[in-house]
């Protein structure tokens, strides 16, 4: 692919790790479709990211094909954009290795997604230890209090000194015991986490930096990762000379965070415990309607947009607005005097129309076609990736 003159280079990707839902569609893919008209776009199926958590090989294979079909059915046009499988271009893993060598632990330990997934949060650990100092040790232990009470009745100096020493010993033991308890828990969780999961943002930085990307359209949860790509680009350029462009993150505000239908305080997620959390792009319209009718609602009965006070109806309104292409104001007007039930019934219909149309396109795409598209995409990118790796190797001094 020769990047078209004067056009911005856009890169984004999704992991082939299970069903994609309308959060992925509205938050990411739908904005990609619009962008391909005026930019040079590259959309990846990031399989090396997917394996940072265990995947069954057969499911992974199916999911890669399914994700490519979803790209195509959504309107990503392989004549206009490049669609490819990350592992087809070895330079992604190669560049990730080089970037690893300029990444600090502190760059990665603060990643929210890692802390959520791995449940290993150094800050939380520190807070727990500090709270011990304030609460458990100074204020807490019954035993120490009892000894303190006893101390008041003592007369002889030797007895008092003995008691004070006892208190200090007890305090030390309690402090050590409690901090050891936290330490053990932390270490157990840390030991369970895969290195890949921790290192995941560096691979993502490699994806982005390999192609001189100008902008990365993603959902809000990926902002921190794109920032790392910027940091690493600047750090590398600073140490070795210019090789990378610092990319901008691109977030469509209205769809940055589509929330779960069963819990509007958390984002819609394919790893949610209940299928009632999300509408999958492959859900049949009837079961999607059931999920919408069952979706949590707020107190009150008006259809008004207020993310803080009415998160549930606001989320449903966002979905309505984005799929039907009408403004939130118009929706409010349309449903003045009507209740949640009426609104949900209409939304079910809109989602049904969207899913029907989407799935018709999806089902027409064959596996052979998918493989050809991915092969073509990799072929277009390989020269660019190889070229960038040559520059990188030259800069760090490993080309003889």
Query: Catalytic residue numbers?
Result: 117, 267, 270
The yes or no reply on residue 32 touching ligand TRP (CB under 6 A) is: no
- Minimal distance in Å, beta carbon 149 to ligand AMP? 56
- Which of residues 204 and 312 has its CB atom nearest to ligand TRP in the complex? 204
* Residue 318 CB contacts under 8 Å (≥ 6 apart), including other chains: 26, 254, 255, 258, 328
CB-closest chain residue to ligand AMP: 27
- Which of residues 15 and 74 has its CB atom nearest to ligand AMP in the complex? 15
Q: Are 48 and 203 in contact (CB under 8 A)?
A: yes
Residue 250 dihedral angles phi and psi, to the nearest 5°: -130, 115
Choose, by CB under 6 A, the member of 1, 28, 89, 232 that binds ligand AMP. 28
Stretch that binds ligand AMP, among 136-144, 266-274, 307-315, 330-338 (CB under 6 A): 266-274
- Which of residues 13 and 377 has its CB atom nearest to ligand AMP in the complex? 13
Q: Are 240 and 129 in contact (CB under 8 A)?
A: no
DSSP secondary structure letter of residue 11: E
Choose, by CB under 6 A, the member of 71, 199, 213, 219 that binds ligand AMP. 219
- Which of residues 174 and 223 has its CB atom nearest to ligand TRP in the complex? 223
Stretch that binds ligand AMP, among 32-40, 88-96, 264-272, 305-313 (CB under 6 A): 264-272
Question: Alpha-carbon dihedral of residues 187, 192, 198, 200, nearest 10 degrees?
Answer: -170
Region 239-258 residues binding ligand AMP, contact defined as CB under 6 A: 255-258
**DSSP bridge pairs for 84:** 44
User: Smallest Cα–Cα separation from 8: which of 74, 89, 81, 70?
Assistant: 81
Tokens for 345, please give them.
């019934």
Binding residues for ligand TRP, rule CB under 6 A, total 14
Report residue 118 CA to chain centroid gap.
13
- Minimal distance in Å, beta carbon 224 to ligand TRP? 10
- Which of residues 186 and 198 has its CB atom nearest to ligand TRP in the complex? 198
User: Smallest Cα–Cα separation from 197: which of 113, 257, 289?
Assistant: 113
Choose, by CB under 6 A, the member of 26, 46, 215, 392 that binds ligand TRP. 46
Choose, by CB under 6 A, the member of 267, 310, 388, 395 that binds ligand AMP. 267
Q: Are 57 and 19 in contact (CB under 8 A)?
A: no
| Helix, coil or strand: residue 87 | helix
Sheet harboring 248-250: ordered strands across? 82-85, 40-45, 9-14, 215-217, 248-250
Choose, by CB under 6 A, the member of 222, 277, 314, 321 that binds ligand TRP. 222
Q: How far is CA 362 from CA 56, 168, 325, in A?
A: 23, 71, 22
Which does residue 11 touch among ligand AMP, ligand TRP, none (CB within 5 to 8 A, set by kind)? ligand TRP
List contacts with ligand TRP (CB under 6 A). 11-15, 46, 49, 204, 207-208, 216, 218, 222, 225
């Amino acid at each position: 692919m020769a990047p078209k003159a004067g056009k911005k280079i856009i890169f984004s990707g999704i992991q082939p790790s299970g069903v994609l839902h309308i959060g992925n569609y509205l938050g990411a893919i739908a904005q990609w479709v619009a962008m391909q008209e005026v930019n040079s776009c590259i959309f990846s199926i990031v399989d090396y990211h997917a394996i940072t958590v265990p995947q069954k090989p057969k499911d992974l294979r199916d999911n890669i094909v399914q994700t490519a079909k979803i790209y195509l059915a959504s309107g990503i046009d392989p004549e206009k954009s490049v669609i490819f499988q990350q592992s087809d271009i070895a330079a992604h893993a190669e560049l990730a290795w080089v970037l690893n060598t300029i990444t600090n632990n502190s760059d990665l330990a603060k990643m929210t997604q890692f802390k959520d997934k791995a449940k290993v949060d150094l800050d939380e650990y520190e807070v727990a230890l500090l709270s011990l100092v304030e609460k458990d040790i100074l204020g807490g232990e019954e035993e120490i209090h009892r000894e303190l009470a006893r101390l008041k009745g003592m007369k002889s100096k030797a007895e008092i000194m003995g008691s004070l020493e006892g208190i200090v010993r007890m305090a030390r033991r309690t402090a050590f015991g409690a901090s050891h308890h936290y330490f053990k828990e932390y270490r157990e969780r840390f030991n369970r986490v895969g290195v890949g999961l921790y290192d995941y943002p560096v691979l993502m930085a490699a994806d982005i930096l390999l192609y001189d990307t100008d902008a990365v359209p993603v959902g809000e949860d990926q902002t921190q990762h794109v920032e790392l790509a910027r940091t690493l680009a600047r750090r590398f350029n600073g140490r070795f000379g210019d090789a990378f462009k610092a990319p901008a993150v691109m977030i469509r505000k209205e769809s940055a965070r589509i929330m779960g239908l069963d819990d509007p305080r958390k984002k819609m997620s394919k790893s949610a415990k209940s299928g009632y959390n999300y509408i999958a792009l492959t859900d049949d319209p009837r079961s999607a309607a059931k999920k919408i009718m069952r979706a949590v609602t707020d107190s009150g009965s008006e259809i008004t947009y207020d993310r803080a006070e009415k998160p549930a109806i606001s989320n449903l309104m966002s979905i309505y607005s984005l799929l039907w292409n009408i403004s939130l104001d118009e929706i409010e007007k349309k449903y003045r005097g009507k209740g949640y039930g009426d609104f949900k019934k209409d939304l079910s219909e809109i989602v049904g129309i969207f899913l029907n149309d989407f799935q018709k396109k999806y089902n027409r795409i064959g596996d052979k076609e998918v493989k050809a598209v991915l092969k073509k995409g990799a072929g277009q990118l390989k020269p660019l990736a190889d070229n960038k790796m040559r520059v990188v190797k030259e800069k760090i001094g490993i080309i003889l």
